[in-house]
Amino acid sequence: MRLTGQISTDLSDASASVLDTRRAQWSPQILDAYGLGGLEHLLPELQRGGDAAAIGMGVLIPDRLAPVAGSFNTNGVTTTRDDVDPRWQSRLSIQPDLWIAMSTSPTASPALDWLLGLLGVTDSAQRGALFAEAADLNPQHDVPVVLPFLYSSPLGADGSAVHGWHSRAHILRGMFEGIVLMHYWHTSALAERFHWDKTIVLGGGSSHSELYVQLVANALRASIQVVHNEEAGAFGAAALAAVSQGMFPSIQAAQERIVRARVVEPTTESASYWQDVTAALGGLGSALDPWWAWQRNAQGGELA
């Protein structure tokens, strides 16, 4: 409109909205389906576009495929067929007998930019150095699979990983929850044969984090008490020496000197969240078995 003074759009862009891609006209049926029947007069005039990207790549030729990783992950094949499917759009081209079957998702540059920002890569020099490090890796060396599902997923609404609004804090929380899930897995296995006191004693460096302690309580649905000894192993060694020298009458008596924090209880509101998370954990291993089997085969039968 700024160039010509006319309000119009091109058939390619219109293909992603309420266009009948077989007749190259606005579709009253689609408008009716959205409750917008009778509003055709508000839609802009249709013009044939130039398919600049396809032409510039030399792919506006039947049976040419062109993947593009830009603001979107765009994968288009030029075809003489007007087939439609939920997994792709059938876009009209500048030639009436050619369509571009285009399957897209926002899983390219936005995901990469988010990750670089999270890693503190803020300028071209840092970016170049990191890219060089990645290029120097052995091509056959296994690397973590990172699904770029920040803003959406081509696999459906449930197919998500991190999101564009996630921060380093979200990733840290996710890591803590992953560790806590492993506590749940191991203690669930033990619970099939053993019992323990209602209050669980928690140690280790992570126990200095109040967040982590609360997450453990929430996931295990148990009372948690943290040991406040700075170095539990060193204290145990000193206790053994003290008992051997008669400074304490028994190991039990020495253990009474251990300092513990207040008991942390699971929160009521966290119950349904962790019920869902731990229930989903059961199917995770079987779901990932094919991926792990592929990795074993790729590494010559051994996991790196």
What would the CATH number be for the domain defined by 168-298? Answer: 3.30.420.40
Cα 48 to its chain centre, rounded Å, is: 38
- pLDDT (0 to 100) of residue 110: 84
Q: In whole angstroms, what is the distance from residue 272 CA to residue 254 CA?
A: 40
Q: What residue ranges of the chain are covered by domains with CATH 3.30.420.40?
A: 168-298
Nearest CA-CA partner of 11 in 104, 95, 87: 95
Mean pLDDT value of segment 186-208: 84
The predicted-structure confidence for 69-108, as pLDDT tens digits, reads as follows 788 888 888 999 888 888 888 888 888 888 889 898 888 8
Q: Report yes or no: 54 and 100 within 8 Å, Cβ to Cβ.
A: yes
Mean pLDDT value of segment 230-244: 86
Average pLDDT of the chain is 83
Q: In whole angstroms, what is the distance from residue 24 CA to residue 11 CA?
A: 7
- pLDDT (0 to 100) of residue 187: 86
Is residue 185 left, alpha or beta, with left meaning phi > 0 and alpha meaning psi from -120 to 50? alpha
pLDDT of 9 above 70: yes
CA dist 273 → 105, 222, 263, 276 (Å): 29, 15, 22, 5
Pair of tokens at residue 174: 């996710």
pLDDT of 163 above 70: no
CB-count burial class (<10 Å; 0-12, 13-18, 19+) for 19: buried
**All residues at 6 or more sequence positions from 20 whose CB lies less than 8 Å from its CB, including other chains:** 26, 27, 29, 30
For residue 46, the number of C-alpha atoms closer than 13 Å in the C-beta half-sphere is: 20
pLDDT of 34 above 80: yes
- pLDDT (0 to 100) of residue 304: 42
pLDDT of 186 above 80: yes
Give the confidence band of 159 by pLDDT, cuts at 50, 70, 90.
Answer: low
The torsion defined by the Cα of 274, 280, 281 and 287, in degrees rounded to 10, comes to -160
**All residues at 6 or more sequence positions from 267 whose CB lies less than 8 Å from its CB, including other chains:** 214, 217, 218
- pLDDT (0 to 100) of residue 303: 46
Answer with the residue of higher pLDDT: 295 or 220.
220
Q: In whole angstroms, what is the distance from residue 218 CA to residue 212 CA?
A: 10
The predicted-structure confidence for 96-143, as pLDDT tens digits, reads as follows 888 889 898 888 888 888 888 888 889 999 988 988 888 787 765 656
